């Protein structure tokens, strides 16, 4: 009788834990719609930052790559001097929707 009761308890606990696992695993999977809207928002933010850089007349805008992900913007590429690096970072931070800026711009070597 005792072993039957033990087996029953183990089966119940196993069944209960499987139900909990099944509930939590589905909640973390992003839906295709949210992924698409997130990508669209990232593209729109990248375009807004690029437009702000052009409007601010950052001379080397064509050599600057702008990437955005969830409000974090990365600036990459090379520019003429340190002042352009600083100015590009300031302009990017001022764009609505930007939470942080990773300014990975470098100074272009003479002759390049």
Residue-wise pLDDT tens digits, 44-76: 999 999 999 999 988 777 889 999 999 999 999
- Is the sign of the CA dihedral 94, 87, 73, 48 positive or negative? positive
Is the pLDDT at 30 greater than 70? The verdict is: no
76 DSSP β-pair partners: 65, 104
Please report, for residues 17, 66, 104, the alpha-carbon distance to residue 78 in angstroms, rounded to integers and kept in the order given: 54, 12, 9
The domains of the chain are located at 1-30, 32-112
How far from the centroid of its chain's Cα atoms is residue 55's Cα? 25
Strand segments, DSSP code E, in the chain are 64-69, 72-79, 100-107
The correct answer on CATH 3.30.1340.30 for the domain covering 32-112 is: yes
Q: What is the pTM of this model?
A: 0.67
């Amino acid at each position: 009788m005792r072993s039957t009761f033990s087996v029953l308890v183990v089966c119940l606990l196993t069944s209960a834990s499987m139900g909990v696992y099944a509930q939590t695993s589905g909640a973390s999977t992003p839906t295709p719609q949210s992924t698409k809207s997130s990508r669209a928002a990232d593209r729109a933010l990248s375009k807004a930052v690029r437009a702000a850089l052009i409007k601010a007349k950052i001379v080397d805008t064509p050599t600057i790559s702008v990437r955005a992900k969830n409000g974090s913007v990365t600036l990459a590429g090379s520019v003429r001097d340190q002042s352009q690096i600083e100015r590009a970072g300031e302009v990017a931070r001022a764009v609505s929707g930007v939470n942080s800026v990773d300014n990975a711009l470098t100074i272009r070597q003479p002759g390049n």
